[in-house]
Structure 1
């Protein structure tokens, strides 16, 4: 099946997960703490579970031979040629706080390599998608009317010109990683926190230049890689390696600032 056909199916997954998740947003929903990430509050809600269940149901019905890796319900057929990598709510802490800084991440890998991804924000009705060769935004335009446009990263020659984002300066699993990020933040022109997956999409859209995080799982990043690369950006680990397995992630819109950021993070 061509990736164009997968793109249409991903739209169906986004619609189904959005319908499952939105009834919980800005309600008196409670969250439990999964833990397991260095003692940092890692919440999960019924909305997370409902969103992933809806997507898994559609995938199993349409593509029973495909694998699935999901944040809430684990791994099935991880050695399949095609594997779906799902995070129903990336940014659950924002979700339970009533902030629209969260999104549903739907990624697809072929033979272990990310080949298609979408970030869907059902509350704001925005969809960011990419296949590594191009990236697209669909949603409200400048005047509020719905539309679509190609995504392109912006030029940024140096850290001194860069807008840098991370979920939190306190979310790095080790002191060494926190210190490395602090060095980077000190040299950036502008630093913003709390955007979760939205920050990566803003790199693709040309509004943010760098995103730096650590301790990520594959479902936190796989869907975002084809979007940023399709918009002309670059995503690697801090040392320039493969980001598809998560870990220490560095995303940039311009290779020049990416190279400088790697040097600073290395100390």
Structure 2
């Protein structure tokens, strides 16, 4: 696992070197098919990550947001999102992140969240405590919070929910102490530092959540689907993250109605 961690960190370092010079610069933004913004930073960073991982582990697969799957049937598959939170990136807000995850036979075993503008980095490995470093401070590990009425809830945007999902999420929002909007992967990082208690989102693709699962779980939390079950690569991307596993049943019940 040490070699895998070193590779994930090297990939994040290399991606950051591509991303930082473009952050808060005037970028040409083109529209992808789903109308989300994509910049040369996304594409250049993913090309850099892919080249580094392919050189170190030529028998591993890679799945990325910008360039799709390569050898997806391999025993080990890296799952990367060069800029998770592109809208934050193009509007100059440092709450985006680079995600590097590793799956072994379909199960996430390593996850890294890197914020290249602030220098914060979270590393989660299955069966090991969370590692975190950054100049802004923070203590790795989630905090106890067994009741939604006492919980800080985070969600990237209410627009991510379908008409069927929106009222289900609204039940969770109304039961929570308060909700904070925006954040993408950064919200999950804050949960892993005990500053957020729950994140509920939808329509996440594998490159959005594979790296997050080991980080959240290494912090003592849980990352599941809306039924409280392990996430699947072919699932709808409905995600619950909780810092305190005791909080999960209440959220699942509210989402189920």
Give the TM-score normalised by structure 2.
Answer: 0.96
- Aligned mate of 1:194, from 170, 174, 182: 182
Unaligned stretches of 5+ residues in structure 2: none
Q: Cα RMSD over matched residues?
A: 1.2
Q: Retained in 2: the 8 A contact 1:221–1:244? A: no
Greater alpha carbon shift after TM alignment, 130-139 vs 206-215: 130-139
Report 1:159-174 matches (<5 A).
Answer: 159-172=148-161, 174=162
Cα distance, 1:215–1:183 mapped onto 2, change above 3 Å: same
Is 1:182 aligned to 2:167, yes or no?
A: no
SS at match of 1:205: coil
In the other structure, the counterpart of 1:22 is 20
What SS is found at the alignment partner of 2:158?
coil
Identify which range, 241-250 or 75-84, moves more after superposition.
241-250
Displacement of 1:141 in angstroms is 4.6
Give 2:228's match in structure 1, choosing from 231, 240, 245: 240
Task: Give the whole-Å Cα distance in 2 for the aligned partners of 1:62 and 1:132.
Answer: 21
2:143 maps to what in 1? Answer: 154
1:181–1:99 CA distance, 2 compared to 1 (3 A): same
| Local SS of the residue matching 1:170 | helix
Q: CA deviation at 1:253?
A: 0.6
The answer (yes or no) to whether the contact 1:167–1:196 under 8 Å persists in 2 is: yes
- Quote the Cα distance in structure 2 between the aligned partners of 1:140 and 1:193: 24
The answer to whether the Cα contact below 8 Å between 1:52 and 1:88 also exists between their aligned partners in 2 is yes
- Give the aligned partner of residue 212 of structure 1: 200
C-alpha contact (below 8 Å) 1:132/1:228 kept by paired residues? no
The 5-angstrom pairing of residues 130-141 of structure 1 reads 130-133=124-127, 134-141=129-136
Specify the SS of the correspondent of 2:239.
Answer: strand
Match of 1:145 in 2: none
From 5, 8, 27, give the equivalent of 2:6. Answer: 8
Aligned to 1:73: 67
> Aligned to 1:58, what secondary structure does the other structure show?
helix
Residues 44-53 or 236-245, more deviating = 236-245
Q: Is the 8 A contact 2:225 2:240 kept in 1?
A: yes
- Aligned residue for 1:154, secondary structure, equals coil
**Aligned-residue offset at 1:69:** 0.3
Give TM-score, length-normalised by structure 1.
Answer: 0.92
Contact 2:120 2:136 in 1 (8 A): no
Shift, 1:151, TM fit? 1.6
Shift in Å, 1:5: 1.7
| CA offset digits 1:152-171 (Å, max 9, x no partner) | 11000111000001111122
Contact 2:191 2:242 in 1 (8 A): yes
Q: Alignment partner of 1:109: what SS?
A: strand
Separation in 2 of the partners of 1:18 and 1:223?
17
Per-residue deviation, 1:219: 0.1
Aligned equivalent of 2:251, options 236, 261, 264: 261
Cα distance in structure 2, aligned partners of 1:92 and 1:218? 16
1:101-129 per-residue CA deviation (whole Å, 9 max, x = no partner) reads 10000000000100001001111011111
Matched residue SS, 2:47: helix
